[in-house]
Amino acid sequence: MRWHAHANQQLNPPTSDIAIPCQSRGIPATILRDAVVWGFHSESVPLSYSESIAVRVNLGPRSYQIPIVSHQLVQSGKSLTNWWVERDGMSSIACTLPPPSGSLWLQNKKHPVAGTALIVTDSNVATTYAATVKQSLVDCGWICETAVFPAGESSKSFDVVSGIYDQLIGMNADRRTLIVAVGGGVVGDAAGFVAATYTRGLPFAQVPTSLLAAVDSSVGGKTGINHPLAKNMIGAFYQPIGVFIDTAVFETLSDREYRSGLAEVVKYGVILDPEFFTYLEQNIAAIQTRQPEILRQVITRCCRLKADVVERDEFETTGLRAMLNYGHTFGHAFETLSGYGHLLHGEAVAIGMICASRLAERRGLIDTEVTNRQSRLLQAFQLPTSLPLSKSFTTDDVLNRMKLDKKTVSGSLRFVLPTRLGEVQIFADISLDDVRAVLNWLLVYPAAKSMMRKRRVIRLERQPFFQRDPCHVH
């Protein structure tokens, strides 16, 4: 069975045209075609630090805004407060920013306290960005506490979530207590899961501080934690009331973590938007050096693309949303087998995309050049396209992990495969032999090549690498 998803045929028409003279800056107009104007943006003024763009995720009563700003984290409390007021309607706020029209905020604004908030963050950003967001909320009248857990994928766990529940009970949290995730995807996923489950739902906002969280995990309402044997296996769909993206925070992100986020950026181009893919190819240096303007365009485009998909398949029931998992069936298996945190999520996805693309080649869906273009772009961003040689697992290990993938139905694996650049389909009838062949290519070939290099054997092509199974990579 196949589900078909094609950006140009099935996704939203532009919500509105952004009024930035993008052609004059060499950015194709369509890159920005469906971003909506936010805040102080004016048609006549070129985009700068003081201006903002926003993407709106249209989900009826669960709709929300994603402002994409720079150097405005100190103001984040106002946005968070307004989103909460808009959602809650009954609150009493002493914040100076005018509330959305129709809000009851004005009627009650003499009351000094907005409510209680718990900022959930990790050890790397607790004293910087989380502290700034906290101060901004306090300035708006909030009583704030902070929950800090150790940075890293292993914190997406029962233990961490349980500790946050304890803290919420300790602060007498009720259904109006705001949970604010300040951090990367790990923080967002864990905090969102707490928000979804504590008293069956607390208002929840995201302030993503990693590129990956900004372009992917903070948007769309997937929350969750890992089972020791399977990534993201326990979770809930739970939309935030808003996502506040400040690109200035990415300046402190390590190169490796930044690159990990770029893997998801490339993914959007492959699955939905060939023009965006070309744009990435043409702006490699600017993206690598984190040029703020380019970065904001890239983030806006990714958020809009993801929002378009989520708006049509919020709960992943039609198959459309599953296409966002391109590269993830392989990627999650590599990530889990390597031990959470060793291979970064984006790195695993980069390798996974190349595997999926090779699988599509075997199936005759695409020619090699589609894979090669992805490989070249990922490598230009210094992302891996094959497994590091230190990883040690077999094709069967990978296949067994893949069977735990959430796309698996009745034990049969499903793969998101490209049918051309900018278009993917979901296939449920891929033979295990084909998957094995791709894994053998990935696992055996580099290991054998390395071994042979050590033994100074030159005639590589004569060795029967592709028949070995299971394989061990050292």
Ligand X SMILES: NC(=O)c1ccc[n+]([C@@H]2O[C@H](COP(=O)([O-])OP(=O)(O)OC[C@H]3O[C@@H](n4cnc5c(N)ncnc54)[C@H](O)[C@@H]3O)[C@@H](O)[C@H]2O)c1
* Positions that interact with ligand X (CB under 6 A): 122, 124-125, 151-153, 156, 183-187, 189, 209-210, 212-213, 216-217, 220, 222, 232, 249-250, 252-253, 257, 260, 345
Spatial separation of the C-alpha atoms in residues 207 and 122, rounded to whole Å: 12
Spatial separation of the C-alpha atoms in residues 377 and 266, rounded to whole Å: 8
Residue from 345, 358, 407, 414 carrying the catalytic annotation: 345
CB of 155 to ligand X, least distance (A): 8
In the residue annotation, 373 being an active-site residue is answered as no
Of 257 and 313, CB closest to ligand X: 257
Q: What is the CA radius of gyration of the chain?
A: 23
In the residue annotation, 474 being an active-site residue is answered as no
Angle (nearest 5°) at CA 229 between 352 and 150 = 90
Buried b / exposed e across 386-406, counting CB within 10 Å, b at 16+?
Answer: bbeeebebbbebbbebbeebb
Residue from 41, 156, 306, 414 carrying the catalytic annotation: 306
Q: For residue 198, how many other CB atoms are within 10 A of its CB?
A: 21
Of 91 and 226, CB closest to ligand X: 226
In the residue annotation, 306 being an active-site residue is answered as yes
Of 238 and 465, CB closest to ligand X: 238
Q: Closest residue (Cβ) to ligand X? A: 185
Residue matched to tokens 């949303």: 321
Of 141 and 319, CB closest to ligand X: 319
412 beta partners: 409
Q: Are 349 and 228 in contact (CB under 8 A)?
A: no
Of 114 and 213, CB closest to ligand X: 213
In the residue annotation, 222 being an active-site residue is answered as yes
CB of 124 to ligand X, least distance (A): 3
Residue from 110, 200, 454, 456 carrying the catalytic annotation: 200
Of 47 and 196, CB closest to ligand X: 196
CB of 295 to ligand X, least distance (A): 13
CA 147 to chain centre: 22
CB of 108 to ligand X, least distance (A): 34
In the residue annotation, 332 being an active-site residue is answered as yes
Buried b / exposed e across 84-107, counting CB within 10 Å, b at 16+?
Answer: bbbbbeebbbbbeeebeeebbbee
Closest CA to 97 of 207, 86, 328, 17: 86
CB of 447 to ligand X, least distance (A): 27
Burial group, residue 147, by CB count within 10 angstroms (0-12, 13-18, 19+): buried
Residue from 51, 86, 153, 264 carrying the catalytic annotation: 264
In the residue annotation, 264 being an active-site residue is answered as yes
In the residue annotation, 281 being an active-site residue is answered as no
Strands 2-6, 423-427: parallel, antiparallel or unpaired by DSSP?
A: antiparallel
Of 27 and 263, CB closest to ligand X: 263
CB of 143 to ligand X, least distance (A): 25
Residue from 222, 267, 301, 304 carrying the catalytic annotation: 222
Closest CA to 203 of 162, 164, 154, 240: 240
Residue from 332, 373, 401, 407 carrying the catalytic annotation: 332
CB of 226 to ligand X, least distance (A): 7
Residue from 316, 347, 361, 423 carrying the catalytic annotation: 316
Spatial separation of the C-alpha atoms in residues 5 and 235, rounded to whole Å: 25
Residues recognised as catalytic: 200, 222, 264, 306, 316, 321, 325, 328, 332, 345
